[in-house]
Amino acid sequence: MSNAAKIILHINASARKNNSVTRELTDTLVKNLVEKDQETKVLNRDVSQGIPFLDEDWVGANFTDPADRSAEQRLKLSLSDTLVNELKSADTIVIGTPIYNFSVPAALKAWIDQIARARETFKYTENGPVGLLEGKKAFVVVASGGTKVGSEIDFAATYLKHVLGFVGINDVSIIAADQLMADPSKKQTALEKALELAA
């Protein structure tokens, strides 16, 4: 009897649909990961289409005991529940994001706010918060025009690695196609790294 099919959650955050470096690189990475195991399933989530920001009603619903939530509160959390379940079900997460003004796009930050939920993806203990999504692998593909990934002005890749670790995903590979305005050849370098990591 075969094991359950692996699941890849493929998240794109670039506002560009055409000529997007991160979309091209993550598409290639996901394709190569699937080629390793033809039974792998891919869940695609394009956050650039729009993710609602948190508001007072969302916060109130989230901090209400699930057994006591009203129908309206359950509806308010329905998208968040879907996003959390996608993340829980995935064995591998592939995130493609540009750096906008030194950080992640607002839509990707909105996704993070929707999935970072106490009792769902992390819990508080007497020793501090503990992530609940252990045992997963993440690839983060980051593109920038001028910001060097990992530098003191990079608040995108470093932030994503921290957030993923916060929810328990500590096996994170960063693939940088950075400073492309200065050196376009870095896109090819990033592609080669993506293919190497997917091998």
> Who wins on pLDDT, 1 or 49?
49
CB 59 within 8 A of CB 25: no
Model confidence at 1, pLDDT cuts 50, 70, 90, reads: very low
pLDDT digits (tens, 9 = 90+) for 133-169: 999 999 999 999 999 999 999 999 999 999 999 999 9
Model confidence at 197, pLDDT cuts 50, 70, 90, reads: confident
* Cα–Cα nearest to 66, from 119, 129, 137: 119
User: Identity (one letter) of the amino acid at 110?
Assistant: A
Full DSSP string of 114-129: HH--BTTTEEEETTEE
| This prediction's pTM | 0.94
* Cα–Cα nearest to 20, from 97, 107, 93: 97
Q: What are phi and psi of 152, to 5 degrees?
A: -70, -15
pLDDT digits (tens, 9 = 90+) for 104-135: 999 999 999 999 999 999 999 999 999 999 99
| Size of the chain, expressed as the number of residues it contains | 199
Return the pLDDT at 3. Answer: 62
3-state secondary structure of 5: coil
Measure the CA–CA gap between 60 and 37, rounded to whole angstroms. 42
Model confidence at 2, pLDDT cuts 50, 70, 90, reads: very low
- Outline where DSSP puts E strands in 39-117: 41-46, 92-98
